[in-house]
């Protein structure tokens, strides 16, 4: 008798929970795959391909599908890995050293004396940040350049080099009070 009561009670509980969950699944359903959007929002959008995928969106999709690991993005840095780990509930890990080190922000600069106007770099730039035309001067729009370095290889005369961005009075930031923090720790 007690057994029947127990089975009925538990069964009713399970049924009620199932109904509630089913209702929630329909009522609160989200269209699309929001995880990919959220991962993409955390990536630096350098579109450099160092992760092994073409563009940050593909990498985001690969992470969401479980095909790629979260530590494959050098431009995002360790901070980016930590943010992805936070979002996905995984353990953060160090950046994959095979993919290159975390470098400071840089922009590409074309040496206009050497440029031959071949447009190979223009085709390579993933964000169309190079202005120019065939047999015409090419130049990098510094504000649009993400520092992905994809233009360096195609240039036949090797006239593109990367320049680090130095702080100006408008971009200068107060530093983290590190020495004091070390003393207080």
* Nearest partner of 150 among 168, 125, 176, 181, judged by Cα: 125
Contact footprint for other proteins (CB under 8 A)? 40, 43-47, 55-57, 119, 122-123, 126-129, 131-134, 141, 143-144, 146, 167-169, 172-177, 180-181, 183-185
6 CB burial (10 A radius; 0-12, 13-18, 19+): exposed
User: Smallest distance from the beta carbon of 134 to other proteins, in angstroms?
Assistant: 5
Q: Are strands 160-164 and 139-140 parallel, antiparallel or unpaired?
A: unpaired
Instruction: Please say which residue, 127 or 152, places its beta carbon nearer to other proteins.
Output: 127
Closer by beta carbon to other proteins, 3 or else 183:
183
Q: Answer whether 177's CB lies under 8 Å from 128's CB.
A: no
Query: Which is nearer to other proteins, 128 or 158 (by Cβ)?
Result: 128
Residue number, 22 or 109, with CB nearest to other proteins: 109
Opening angle at CA 160, ends 159 and 166, nearest 5:
135
Partners of 140 in beta bridges: 130
User: Contact at 8 Å (CB) between 80 and 42?
Assistant: yes
Q: Which is nearer to other proteins, 5 or 169 (CB)?
A: 169
Q: Backbone dihedral region of 91: left (phi > 0), alpha (psi from -120 to 50 degrees) or beta?
A: beta
């Amino acid at each position: 008798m007690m057994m029947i009561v127990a089975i009925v009670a538990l069964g009713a509980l399970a049924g009620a929970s199932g109904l509630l969950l089913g209702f929630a699944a329909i009522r609160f359903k989200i269209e699309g795959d929001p995880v990919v959007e959220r991962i993409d929002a955390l990536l630096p959008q350098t579109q450099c391909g160092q992760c092994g995928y073409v563009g940050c969106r593909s990498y985001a999709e690969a992470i969401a599908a479980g095909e790629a690991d979260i530590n494959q993005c050098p431009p995002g840095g360790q901070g980016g890995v930590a943010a992805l780990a936070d979002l996905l509930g995984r353990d953060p890990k160090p950046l994959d050293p095979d993919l290159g080190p975390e470098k400071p922000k840089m922009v590409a600069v074309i040496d206009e004396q050497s440029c031959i106007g071949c447009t190979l770099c223009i085709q390579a730039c993933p964000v169309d940040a190079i202005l120019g035309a065939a047999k015409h001067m090419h130049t990098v729009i510094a504000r649009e350049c993400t520092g992905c370095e994809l233009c360096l290889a195609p240039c036949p005369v090797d006239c593109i080099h990367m320049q680090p961005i130095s702080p100006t009075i408008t971009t200068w930031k107060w530093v983290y009070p590190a020495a004091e923090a070390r003393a207080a720790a």
